[in-house]
Amino acid sequence: MRKVYKKVSGFIIIVLIICGFRYIDGNTSIYSLNDKDKLVEVTNANGNEKILLVNEKYGLSGNYVPEELSIPNILFSNGSSDEEKHVARTVVNPLEELVKAGKKDGIILLGNSGYRSYKSQEDIYKNRVISQGKKLADAYVAKPGFSEHQTGLCIDITNKNGYFAKGSKEADWLADNCYRFGFIIRYPYGKKNITGIEYEPWHIRYVGKEVAKYIHDNRITLEEYLQR
């Protein structure tokens, strides 16, 4: 009897969470791709823009694979696996344009890690638990399904010396210019309480030019944008 009660209350909590999230105000609405995947739909001047939200709260299921994964025509760091060189098709042209614009300004950007499958993230997480313990793994590695890399819509950028930190000319250029090509710095400095992730100057996420400009100009995160 106790067990049944537990199950029922668990179910009610899940329903409340799902319904609660639907109440994000304004023009934002959400629908499920499947059981776990949440696509946040935003209405803007150009009509509907669909934005996939993945963070520590909203994850993707194991079988979510972006459509038309492709390898962009950019340079990659030596350590990139074949899988990591892929991004979703919609990201290919903007990414190539971004890298080209950098080159014009004397900035050489390399791709480091784009798409990562659920399985890859699972391996990364498991290995980290084995090497450093669960506590450290939980602090630094996204659990499978909760890494934005599974969307194919983001990529970690690096430079030739592999030191991509604030103050390096490549990281500063990326922070100032990526919005012009539809990308945002997904995990800005000082926003861990909102994004759940420490500052990562190398991780850019494609959201389209209009949304990227808004987020850049207002110095906000994707989470804040979706909850305006």
CB atoms within 10 A of CB 83: 15
Shortest CB 147 distance to Zn ion, Å: 8
Asked whether the beta carbons of 144 and 167 are under 8 A apart, the reply is: no
Shortest CB 36 distance to Zn ion, Å: 20
CA–CA gap between residue 4 and residue 2 (Å, rounded): 5
Asked whether the beta carbons of 121 and 144 are under 8 A apart, the reply is: yes
**Closer to Zn ion by Cβ: residue 28 or 181:** 181
Task: Decide if residue 203 touches Zn ion (CB under 5 A).
Answer: yes
Shortest CB 154 distance to Zn ion, Å: 6
Question: Is 84 a known active-site residue?
Answer: no
Report the site for Zn ion in 107-136 (rule: CB under 5 A): none
Per CB under 5 A, the segment of 16-24, 56-64, 123-131, 203-211 that binds Zn ion is 203-211
Burial 197-227 (b: 16+ CB within 10 A, else e): beeebbbbbbbbeebbebbbeeebbbbebbe
The residue from 49, 96, 122, 200 that is catalytic is 200
Task: Decide if residue 84 touches Zn ion (CB under 5 A).
Answer: no
**Closer to Zn ion by Cβ: residue 28 or 147:** 147
Q: How far is CA 187 from the centre of its chain?
A: 9
Shortest CB 202 distance to Zn ion, Å: 7
Question: Which phi-psi region, left, alpha or beta, contains residue 219 (left: φ > 0; alpha: ψ -120 to 50)?
Answer: left
Task: Decide if residue 156 touches Zn ion (CB under 5 A).
Answer: yes
Per CB under 5 A, the segment of 26-34, 42-50, 54-62, 196-204 that binds Zn ion is 196-204
Dihedral, CA atoms, 92, 160, 185, 101, nearest 10 degrees?
-50
Q: How many residues bind Zn ion (CB under 5 A)?
A: 2
**Closer to Zn ion by Cβ: residue 102 or 201:** 201
Shortest CB 133 distance to Zn ion, Å: 22
Dihedral, CA atoms, 215, 219, 225, 228, nearest 10 degrees?
-130
Query: Contact positions toward Zn ion, by CB under 5 A?
Result: 156, 203
Q: List residues with catalytic annotation.
A: 200
